Structure 1
Amino acid sequence: MAAFCTPAATTAPHATPAPLTRPWKHIALCHFSKLGSGGSQRTRLVSAAPQVRAVAPATAAEEAAGPSPINVEYLSAEFAGHGVSFEAVGISCAVKMALRNGSVAHLLLPSGLVTSYKPAMWHGSVTEVLHTSVAAGHGGRAVIRGGVSVDLHCAGGDGGWSPSGAWSLRDVRGNPTTSIEIELASAAPGDAAEARCVVTLHPEALATELSATNNAASSSPMALSCTVSNHLRVSTPDATYALGLQGSDYRSVEPALSEFSIIPPDYGAARQSAAGKARHRLSNKGFDMVLSGGQAHGAAGEPDGEEDDDYKHMTEEMCRVYSHAPREFTIIDRGRRNSICLHRRGFEELYVFSPGSQYQWYGKYAYVVVGPAMLEPVVLRPGDKWQGAQYLRNPNL
């Protein structure tokens, strides 16, 4: 997978010219959560890394005023010439990447949600591999869910922080021939922590590379949790298979909920609880309950089972976190004659969710969700930096 590993996000940002409708150094609507007690939980320590300068947070006046439209004209002028274009979508902005081999991807600002990935296929055209839904939200605004989303949380003794919904465009690199990189950045209030996200469109893959740095001057560590959810479009889960999970341990969980999750309203209504089998619920902030330790692991920390099928059929309702899983596995959809390979780096576990096949073929709930996850937090001491990545590889060329 070395061919898909783009360079670390170290390029300095473009200079900020005068007056924008919204400042380039914009941070908005940070979500906070308390650090779970988790006194008995195991943790993974990361080595110290040079500190990275954080993007300045929004002022109190900016936060009180609420989100304002992104200056699309400025972005178009500042980042032209890299194979990208910008389009206003309400108060948001769609960043469109297009390569000369036909592959395209769309990313939404400031949410950082990847809403479309259409790789070039063997038949000479492109095919959408991501699943999204659009619904009406408060004030008539469109709410987009699905796609590729990042759920990252940093928690410490003074509270917590997440860059969700508060990404700023930091840089655009590359060209339409080789690859296009979109670098996003976000910072906690007071610059205590910083997160970077680099989304790269390659001719044969879509990469999401992440980093988080503890910039705190005090000696307080931070507990970092992160998942990347990929809503993959399929004809129906009944025609969909996961290849390569045989021998992996798994724990059954409830679907992880975030602002971008698509969960059928009646999911689990027909399921009956198996006597003596623990169901480990996840909180509405993704994997927070798992990260709080103890309850999610059971008395002895044993998994619910071991996957015995190397050609796992996704037809039934299922939601699992796999451990000791291979770094790369493949989702095959026989109905759409399509497949996608998922490779991960820096994540120990794998999240797999299927809503089941009782829904309409090619409909609103014709999708499966897969992505790298953490069953335990990574502890960041001041100055420490964590890095992780996933690669959606197109094997259909």
Structure 2
Amino acid sequence: MKAAAVAQIAPVISPNLTPVLGLKRSLQITCQQSPSSNHNQDHNFPSFMFKRTTKKDNPPSALASDIPYIPSINIDYSNLETEFKENGVTFEEISLTGTNSNCLVLKMTLQNGSTAALMLPSGLITSYKTPLWHGGQAELLHTCVSKRANSTDVNVQGGVSLSFDCEIEGLVSTWSPSIWDLSSIRGGQDQEFIQVELKSSNWDKTVEVKHIVTIREDVLTSELVFSNKSLSNLRLTGSVITHLGVSTPDATYALGLEGSNYYSKPPLSSTFCITLPDSDLSKSKNWSLGDLNKGKQAEIVDGEENENYKQLTDAMSRIYTCAPRQLTIMDRGKRNSIILRRDGFEELYLFSPGSDEEWYGKYAYICVGQSALLQPVILAPGDKWNGSQHIHNPNL
């Protein structure tokens, strides 16, 4: 795919996406699903449930386990448009060159001008735009569209993504929700909210997850509901990872963390995390949820935050414990602030790539994760667990 084709896809996902070419390391868009011998994955493509047809492909053999599995999809998204046209929701199809898959971008729009964009079937939130008090509009998320090196495949990274491992007691393998069904849409453009409910489950449906995305006039909520339908305990490890767009980390402050304990670790590695260029922070081995599950953690350093206005100039990657439920991110460059609140999660993951890169560029972002990383959530058979993140715009 040429640069022009990448630039053509970017505005569909978000009007303010940053097109980036020639990444040293980038990942497949999640219309593609990579099988693994140590993960139980459900290779049935998600059922969108509304007047569409799907096709089931056989997953590749173990000998081809290093090749991304690409489930085929044939969605008549115009029928979805008809089904939900009164809900303030539109759908647009993206054809990916070099694959036999298509993705949908679901866009929610409220009368006050607040919008959010959600990719299906990956469940990645690529855009959240809110009106400001002076009449303008701001994109709060940071997302990049890029071309994979020496390939025609397109990568989308950033935004709000989910990175969770579900491990049933007694089983060697784990499962991660990454392919989502569209279950329902409630509310509407002329109402106070629009709510989209997605569902995902493992191959035998012993673990089910709901992802409920709700947009209101001044807040975007990502709510998760995990259900353990197995006969054993379920161990949840993971995070809701949010890339917030900033002018530069040097002009960005995290307010309210003073007195919170933290653990310094290398950056979290997940499908949608934007990859850092060579730096002192990125040279340390990235860690993943699998590393935590297997006990392969890098050495951690305990500390206590001594700044209430934490400037994010220097590259940092920390998990805060005992952190406040509500955190304010202030960007002096954009003269804007964002409030993030969490429910259910006990930890806060905070990452800054530092300020060595250009202002308003690819690395002009920070990551905030509402997390259960150091201390997993344990669900007994038949139990449910709820966790959520709220991105609030206080500038209306």
Same fold (TM over 0.5): yes
Residues 240-249 or 367-376, more deviating: 367-376
Question: Relative to 1, partners in 2 of residues 1:314 and 1:31: Cα closer, same or farther, differing over 3 Å?
Answer: farther
How far apart are the structure 1 equivalents of 2:183 and 2:370? Answer: 25
Match of 2:232 in 1: 220
* TM-score normalised over the length of structure 1: 0.78
Q: Deviations over 1:314-363 (max 9, x none)?
A: 00000000000000010011001111111001101000000000101111
Change (3 A) 1:34 1:309: farther
Q: Distance in 2 between matches of 1:61 and 1:128?
A: 37
2:84 equivalent to 1:79: yes
The separation in 2 between residues aligned to 1:311 and 1:34, in whole angstroms, is: 43
* Offset at residue 141 of structure 1 (A): 2.7
Code of the aligned partner of 2:349: Y
By relative contact order (CA 8 Å, sep 6+), the higher-ranking structure is 1
Secondary structure of 2:226's counterpart equals strand
Which whole-Å deviations, capped at 9, do the CAs of 1:109-135 have from their partners, x for residues lacking one? 001000000011111121001101111
Q: How do 1:151-300 residues align onto structure 2 when only pairs under 5 Å count?
A: 151-156=163-168, 157-158=170-171, 159-164=173-178, 166-176=179-189, 177-216=191-230, 219-268=231-280, 283=287, 286-293=288-295, 295=297
Of residues 131, 134, 138, the one that matches 1:123 is 134
Contact 2:55-2:73 at 8 Å conserved across structures: no
Cα deviation, residue 78, structure 1: 2.3
Q: Could you tell me how far apart the structure 2 residues matched to 1:28 and 1:356 are? A: 31
Q: CA deviation at 1:376?
A: 1.6
Q: Distance in 1 between matches of 2:125 and 2:160?
A: 5
The alignment of Structure 1 onto Structure 2 pairs a total of residues equal to: 335
Partner residue, 1:23: none
Where 1:201 maps in the other structure, the secondary structure is strand
Q: Indicate the residue corresponding to 1:18 in structure 2.
A: none
Which residues of 2 match residues 306-385 of structure 1 at below 5 A? Answer: 306-374=304-372, 375-385=374-384
Shift, 1:287, TM fit:
3.3
Deviations 1:224-257 (A, max 9, x none): 1120111011110000000000000000011111
- Can you give the 5+ residue segments of structure 1 that lack an aligned partner in the other structure? 1-26, 36-54, 272-278
| 1:195–1:211 Cα contact (<8 Å) kept | yes
Instruction: Specify the SS of the correspondent of 1:127.
Output: strand
Is residue 131–residue 231 contact of structure 1 (8 Å, CA) maintained in 2? yes
SS state of the match for residue 208, structure 1? Answer: strand
Q: Contact 2:103–2:120 at 8 Å: present in 1 too?
A: yes
What is the letter of the counterpart of residue 254 of structure 1? P
TM-score by length of 2: 0.79
Q: Which of 239-248 and 368-377 deviates more?
A: 368-377
Question: Structure 1's 370 and 31: CA in aligned 2 closer, same or farther, altered over 3 A?
Answer: farther
Structure with the larger strand share: 2
In the alignment, the residues of structure 1 paired with residue 336 and residue 391 of structure 2 have an alpha-carbon distance, to the nearest angstrom, of 13
Identity rate, percent: 44
Conservation of the 8 A alpha-carbon contact between 1:324 and 1:348: yes
